């Protein structure tokens, strides 16, 4: 379609994997793409320039966190989130739905919106679908997400129905508000499919959200603690309903195995705090699986995390030294492993895109997984 924000260059014959380019206000983004998470407007322990130099052109911010601190007034005064943070490329902001709903019992959902107490100082706040759109307009987010109603695994069917229905109503209100934002605001709005772990509800939510015709569509509420098989089955089931001419965003995934499943199901973008979170605890991605650098076997590993990795950490420092940094509680430890893990994922995404262009994605996936063992 003419006003689609994604151009698909190649679709696999062996799966639903696809590669292309998403067109956003601050430059194109090659897809499929992993988005590093910068909850507070910083990808933890990394300079923006480091993230940029790796190749990332789209990072995440979080509306809930940025709304509470430093607050919308300051960000607007600075000229938006990009000017405030110094990040030059695209920013997608999550709506904060997931964060607010994690605050239970310190939050209450009403038709109007969600009432909650700040995790920082206990102060009372309200977020409505409209307000969340306006906050993201104020941030200047390149992609804004609708406020949705997130639910944990193993809730009752009728609870899931209620959440789904409210998510749809809130999405409709968000779209209406987004259409009324200032003409100068170029950000794209993405709807979010919910439906918990019930197939019929996933289908219904997909249909309702897709009917709102937002520029992009996200799948929310997966990878929230459910067993892997359930995640994969619901992903596959839900993804089949997604339109081809819109970016498809699977929220909250970013480990190599999950990424491969997402791409196989035609997902274009995804995000996760995990690659940088585990890094701050000394866990590094390698082609042979994750390694825990704090553990004893690395005491005298006088070689890099990965011999053939081109990241700054691997070009300069040994596992033994990085282990020492973690043992001595030195900030450089988290800095180095965070950089490596994001460099690892960027390289993996480059390989994935190449494999799709060459129509050998499933072979790539199989080869990758034959070597990669997640739980090492």
- What residues line the site for its own copies (CB under 8 A)? 40-42, 44-49, 65, 69-70, 74, 77-78, 84-86, 299-300, 302, 312, 316-318, 320-321, 324-325, 327-328, 330-332, 334-335
Q: Which of 218, 243, 133 is nearest to 181 (CA)?
A: 133
Conformation bin of residue 353: beta by default, left when phi > 0, alpha when psi is -120 to 50: alpha
Q: How far is the CB of 185 from its own copies (least distance, A)?
A: 21
Between 1 and 328, CB nearer to its own copies = 328
8 A C-beta contact, residue 253 and residue 270 = yes
Given the residues 94, 142, 261, 268, the one annotated as active site: 94
Between 61 and 191, CB nearer to its own copies = 61
Distance CA 250, CA 137 (A): 22
Q: How far is the CB of 105 from its own copies (least distance, A)?
A: 24
Q: How far is the CB of 151 from its own copies (least distance, A)?
A: 28
Between 240 and 316, CB nearer to its own copies = 316
Between 45 and 263, CB nearer to its own copies = 45
CA 240 to chain CA mean position, Å:
20
Check if 288 is active-site.
Answer: no
Distance CA 278, CA 255 (A): 11
Given the residues 142, 148, 268, 271, the one annotated as active site: 271
Distance CA 203, CA 144 (A): 23
8 A C-beta contact, residue 61 and residue 81 = yes
Q: How far is the CB of 86 from its own copies (least distance, A)?
A: 5
Helix (H) or strand (E) holding 60: strand 58-62
Handedness of CA 51, 54, 58, 59 (dihedral sign): negative
Check if 245 is active-site.
Answer: no
Between 335 and 352, CB nearer to its own copies = 335
Q: How far is the CB of 137 from its own copies (least distance, A)?
A: 20
The first and second tokens of residue 67, run together, are: 């709304």
Provide the annotated active-site residues: 94, 271
């Amino acid at each position: 379609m003419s006003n689609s924000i994604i151009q698909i260059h190649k679709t696999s014959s062996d799966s639903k994997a696809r590669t292309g380019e998403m067109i956003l206000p601050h430059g194109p983004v090659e897809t499929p793409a992993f988005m590093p998470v910068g909850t507070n407007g910083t990808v933890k322990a990394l300079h923006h320039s480091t993230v940029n130099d790796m190749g990332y052109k789209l990072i995440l911010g979080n509306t809930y966190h940025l709304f509470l601190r430093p607050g919308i007034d300051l960000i607007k005064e600075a000229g938006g989130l990009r000017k405030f943070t110094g990040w030059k490329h695209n920013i997608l902001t999550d709506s904060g739905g997931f964060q607010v709903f994690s605050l239970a019992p310190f939050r209450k959902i009403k038709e109007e919106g969600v009432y909650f107490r700040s995790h920082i100082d206990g102060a009372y706040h309200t977020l409505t679908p409209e307000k969340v759109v306006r906050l993201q307009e104020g941030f200047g987010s390149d992609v804004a997400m609708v406020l949705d109603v997130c639910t944990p695994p193993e809730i009752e069917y009728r609870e899931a129905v209620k959440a789904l229905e409210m998510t749809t109503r809130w999405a409709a209100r968000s779209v209406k508000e987004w259409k009324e934002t200032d003409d100068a605001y170029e950000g794209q709005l993405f709807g979010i499919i919910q439906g918990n772990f019930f197939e019929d509800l996933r289908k219904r939510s997909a249909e309702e959200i897709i009917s709102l015709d937002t520029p992009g569509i996200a799948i929310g509420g997966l990878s929230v603690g459910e067993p892997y098989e359930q995640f994969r089955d619901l992903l596959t089931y839900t993804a089949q309903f997604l339109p081809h001419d819109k970016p498809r965003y699977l929220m909250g995934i970013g480990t190599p195995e999950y990424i491969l499943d997402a791409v196989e199901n035609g997902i274009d973008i995804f995000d996760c705090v995990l690659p940088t979170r585990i890094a701050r605890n000394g866990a590094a991605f390698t082609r042979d699986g994750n390694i825990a650098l704090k553990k004893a076997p690395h005491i005298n590993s006088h070689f890099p995390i990965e011999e053939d990795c081109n990241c700054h950490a691997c070009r300069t420092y040994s596992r033994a030294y990085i282990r020492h940094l973690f043992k001595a509680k030195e900030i450089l430890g988290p800095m180095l492993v965070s950089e490596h893990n994001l460099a690892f994922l960027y390289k993996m995404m480059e390989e994935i895109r190449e494999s799709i262009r060459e129509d050998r994605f499933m072979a790539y996936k199989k080869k990758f997984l034959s070597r990669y063992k997640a739980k090492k």
